[in-house]
């Protein structure tokens, strides 16, 4: 129910809210990432304004959202805000480093420099679309990092179709099975509906999300991403 409402409010209604802002978001303001396995990210693409690009990361305390927030906060080319339900609680969580065990995986969670980030209340359950739009006032780009499971994936497909038909310039990124460990192979990018297996580190997903903010090559494309199992690790510098 919660994720279903999240999709309804954010993925389906956000384009209208975004276009109603003053000034409105640029057409290259939204990137939707849809998974091969249950996880998803809505990330904006390139903005056109001069100076630091203002980016809002919704779901900033999540496993992947946090990594995206870290990268943006460390880049002087971005002015970044984290959209969270409880800013005070989020500030505490984000400022702490920890070791988390999830099943067979051990994840080293780094602290975020919250002095470089504005934390804003963004609650898709309690707030109306108008209130969400107000929170995004002045934002050039939006990053939404949330998880999707079960039947919600069907709604995700509907949301993708809605985005494509919205007139917004977009990029759809579909990661394979998400893993918490650092990448063990090179990033592999494939065309739409060509991958049906493979895993990818959340670090690489975050790298792709941030690169999509600045690279025109990601415009109006679907990027399915996994890690190569036969090649060594290589820093991602282009899409």
pLDDT at 129: 75
CB atoms within 10 A of CB 166: 17
Q: SS3 for 211?
A: helix
Alpha-helical regions (H) of 20-170: 63-73, 87-94, 129-135, 152-164
Please state whether beta strands 171-175 and 117-121 pair in parallel, antiparallel, or not at all (unpaired).
unpaired
Q: Max alpha carbon distance in the chain (Å)?
A: 49
Give the bridge partners for 184, in sequence order: none
Alpha-helical regions (H) of the chain: 2-6, 14-19, 63-73, 87-94, 129-135, 152-164, 202-211
Dist CA 151 CA 133 (whole Å): 27
Please state whether beta strands 31-33 and 40-43 pair in parallel, antiparallel, or not at all (unpaired).
antiparallel
pLDDT at 70: 92
Q: Are 143 and 46 in contact (CB under 8 A)?
A: no
Q: Are 211 and 238 in contact (CB under 8 A)?
A: yes
Residue 141 φ then ψ, to 5°? -140, 155
pLDDT tens over the chain, length 239 residues: 334 434 443 343 343 333 344 444 443 444 444 444 434 444 444 444 456 788 888 888 988 889 999 999 999 999 999 999 999 999 999 998 877 666 655 667 788 888 899 999 988 778 887 887 788 888 887 777 766 555 666 767 777 787 788 777 777 778 888 888 889 899 999 988 898 889 999 999 999 988 888 888 888 888 899 999 877 788 888 88
Place of tokens 């802002």: 21
């Amino acid at each position: 129910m919660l994720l279903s409402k999240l999709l309804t409010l954010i993925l389906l209604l956000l384009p209208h809210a975004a276009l109603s802002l003053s000034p409105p978001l640029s057409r290259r303001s939204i990137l939707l990432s849809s998974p091969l396995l249950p996880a998803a990210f809505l990330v904006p693409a390139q903005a056109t304004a001069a100076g630091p690009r203002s980016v809002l990361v919704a779901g900033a305390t999540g496993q992947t959202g946090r990594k995206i927030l870290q990268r943006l906060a460390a880049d002087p080319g971005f002015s970044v805000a984290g959209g969270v339900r409880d800013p005070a609680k989020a500030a505490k969580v984000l400022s702490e480093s920890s070791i988390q065990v999830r099943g067979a995986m051990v994840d080293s969670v780094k602290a975020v420099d919250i002095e470089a980030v504005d934390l804003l209340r963004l609650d898709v359950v309690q707030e109306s679309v108008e209130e969400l739009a107000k929170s995004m006032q002045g934002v050039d780009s939006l990053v939404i990092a949330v998880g999707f499971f079960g039947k919600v994936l069907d709604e995700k497909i509907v949301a993708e179709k809605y985005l494509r038909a919205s007139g917004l310039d977009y990029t759809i990124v579909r990661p394979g099975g998400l893993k918490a460990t650092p990448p063990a192979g090179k990033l592999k990018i494939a065309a739409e509906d060509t991958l049906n297996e493979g895993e990818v580190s959340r670090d690489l997903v975050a790298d792709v999300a941030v690169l999509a903010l600045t690279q025109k090559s990601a415009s109006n494309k679907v990027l399915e991403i996994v890690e190569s199992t036969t090649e060594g690790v290589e820093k991602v510098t282009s899409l």
